Amino acid sequence: MEAFTEYSSVRFKQRAVIEFLTAEGVPPIEIHRQMLAVYGEDCVDVSTVRRWAKKCKDSKPGRTDLCDQEHSGRPVTATDQFHVGKVDELIRDNRQITQREIAAKLGISQERVGHIIDILQYRKVCARWVPRTLTPEMYATYTDDATEEDTL
């Protein structure tokens, strides 16, 4: 999440530069050249500079909203906390559930289910989903069971 915040911060700064240089009367192509020298690979495309320069020209100087606007509609991905929690819950309820069954129950793609399972760090062992790493409680149970078998 930190990388996203850093990315949006760079975009915000670039929008401020575009607004300032547009108010100074600098053409968009020259704004892009100057920004390319400063930001390098992180610089926005020239078409974005043109679009933002037009927005800044159409509004009063200093009045352009530089922040990203809220978007309505469908989320970009099904890998949100709600779906991660639901997949985890379904796997804990039935360790033998398949990715196809999870996808059908949640109405998301099998690919997204697989991605969420990777995030949760589960893997399939003998047709059961198990965590990749043992929690301390699981480790204690495992070692207790192993010592009991050794004593028998």
106: in domain: yes
48: in domain: yes
- Position 19 scores a pLDDT of 86
74: in domain: no
Tokens of 19: 């607004």
76: in domain: no
Q: Are residues 51 and 12 in the same domain?
A: yes
115: in domain: yes
Q: Residue 139's beta-bridge partner residues?
A: none
CATH of the domain at 33: 1.10.10
- Position 125 scores a pLDDT of 77
- Position 79 scores a pLDDT of 78
The 3-state DSSP class for residue 98 equals coil
Q: Are residues 50 and 19 in the same domain?
A: yes
- Position 4 scores a pLDDT of 41
Mean pLDDT in order along the chain per 10 residues (152 residues)? 53 85 90 91 89 81 59 66 92 92 92 91 79 75 66 56
Q: What is the pLDDT of residues 45-60, one digit of tens each?
A: 999 899 888 888 777 6
Q: What are the angstrom distances between the C-alpha of 13 and each of 6, 7, 39, 66?
A: 11, 10, 10, 9
Q: What is the pLDDT of residues 88-109, one digit of tens each?
A: 999 999 989 999 999 999 999 9
Distance CA 76, CA 8 (A): 17
Per the structure, how many domains does the chain have? Answer: 2
148: in domain: no
- Position 11 scores a pLDDT of 80
Task: Please work out, in degrees rounded to the nearest 5, the angle formed at the alpha carbon of residue 51 by the alpha carbons of 50 and 56.
Answer: 95
Give the domain range for residue 54: 6-58
CB contact set of 26 (below 8 Å; sequence gap of 6+): 34
- Position 110 scores a pLDDT of 92
46: in domain: yes
Q: Considering the chain, what percentage of its residues have pLDDT values greater than 70?
A: 76
152: in domain: no
The 3-state DSSP class for residue 113 equals helix
Q: Are residues 13 and 53 in the same domain?
A: yes
Distance CA 10, CA 130 (A): 41
